[in-house]
Amino acid sequence: MTDASEHAFSTEVQEADAPGALGQAAELLAQGQLVALPTETVYGLAADARSPKAVARIFEAKGRPAGNPLIVHIDSVEMAEGCVAAWPRAAAQLAGAFWPGPLSLVLPKADSIPDIVTAGGKTVAVRCPAHPVFRAVLAKCGFPLAAPSANRSNRVSPTRAEHVVDQLGGLIPLVLNGGACDLGIESTVLDLTGDTPTLLRPGMISLGQLQAVLGPVATSKHPAAAEPLKSPGQLQRHYSPRAKLIIVEGDMAAALGQADETTHVIARTAEPAAWPSERWHELPAVVSDFARELYSTLHRCDQLDAETILVQSLPSGDEWAALRDRLNRAAGA
């Protein structure tokens, strides 16, 4: 694979609502180039999903392992059906309930999707995003877009345009700035290729919501080493800041006693009187608000040269499952 350094760009950041910005993005994508686009989850690094050469540029720019598949983004059920070899009743039910939105469905892939997208596997994850900018670009292109998060592999996903530039500046030609992402974490991924639907990656569409539509839904274990991944987000270490992230169970005070001036804290409570406020990051106790702010806070800790980030453990329960998953993987737990 070609090293990303061989493809140097002067990365342009365009406001998504600027005249001609959507057309510029669609033109670059039609030429086989990469464009970073906002979604309701995180910013995505988009390429023509039909083109092996274009998709290879995603892996080059991100430094992404070839065995980690991509999600294909579409703007309609009709476009999704062109990417898959079967569209079962369960897919129709879920699309009706949650599309456009943060749900990716794993289905048998069609021949139109090259193997590089699926890491050589026989399945493909498809999603219909809700963000108006991404949908407008899809409409102008008229073809599906492969789009993982617009960051270097295994790093914290970007929820603002400046996060993309920090990690991919000079490696891609264009970023469309659509402001901060509404949800803040990646989509739920559900595998529909087995006997029982299986949750591969939790997200803001919860297990309970899926079960309300489908009935029983299984949860996946870590895939075997020799087994092709069906979805991104299944690597044990992922979504990681540069700093070492430690999840603190129980009393934070004991952990603070071992901290130094390079330690930052993420918690749902205010800082103790003796702790410097610039190194204490209080996030909301409401799950949707916490999710919206988490990645931006991890980026801020990196920008402030944190060496260790102590994160207060999250509540149990279905609604916090996706955030527990992201923090566990960020910690390599």
Around Cβ 14, how many Cβ atoms within 10 Å? Answer: 17
Q: What is the pTM of this model?
A: 0.94
Residue 235 has a pLDDT of: 66
Which residues of the chain register pLDDT less than 50? 1-6
Residue 1 has a pLDDT of: 41
Residue 44 has a pLDDT of: 98
Residue 7 has a pLDDT of: 58
Residue 225 has a pLDDT of: 56
56-114 pLDDT, tens per residue? 999 999 999 999 999 999 999 999 999 999 999 999 999 999 999 999 999 999 999 99
Residue 2 has a pLDDT of: 42
71-86 pLDDT, tens per residue? 999 999 999 999 999 9
